[in-house]
């Protein structure tokens, strides 16, 4: 889906993606692939919205991640407090 929207991805300020940590869905991109792709389009990870655990052993299986444009106002203040 992300590759298909390459021509219009810059029209978005925020992108939310469900990412596989464990390869439970064959041929689905992993977290590293998604981060690399969005970074190449000038988006940075902003927030982890949710996590999903595999029922088999409760290991981390998927995460919902929010990405914002790297120069976004959401990332303009890097102070801690």
Is the pLDDT confidence value at 2 over 90?
Answer: no
Q: Which long-range contacts (CB under 8 A, 24 or more apart) does 49-52 make?
A: 49/16
**Chain mean position to CA 17:** 5
pLDDT score, position 6: 73
pLDDT score, position 71: 92
Are 21 and 63 contacting, i.e. CB atoms less than 8 angstroms apart? yes
Is the pLDDT confidence value at 14 over 90?
Answer: yes
**DSSP string computed for 7-76:** TTGGG-SEEEEEEESS--STTPPBHHHHHHHHHHTTEEEEEEEEEEE-TTT--EEEEEEEEEETT-GGGS
The model's pTM: 0.88
Is the pLDDT confidence value at 63 over 80?
Answer: yes
């Amino acid at each position: 889906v992300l590759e298909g929207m390459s021509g219009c991805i810059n029209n978005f300020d925020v992108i939310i993606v469900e990412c596989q940590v464990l390869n439970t869905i064959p041929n689905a991109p992993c977290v590293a692939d998604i981060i690399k792709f969005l970074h190449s389009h000038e988006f940075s990870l902003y927030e982890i919205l949710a996590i999903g655990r595999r029922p088999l052993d409760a290991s981390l299986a998927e995460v919902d991640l929010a990405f914002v444009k790297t120069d976004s106002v959401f990332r303009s203040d890097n102070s801690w407090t």
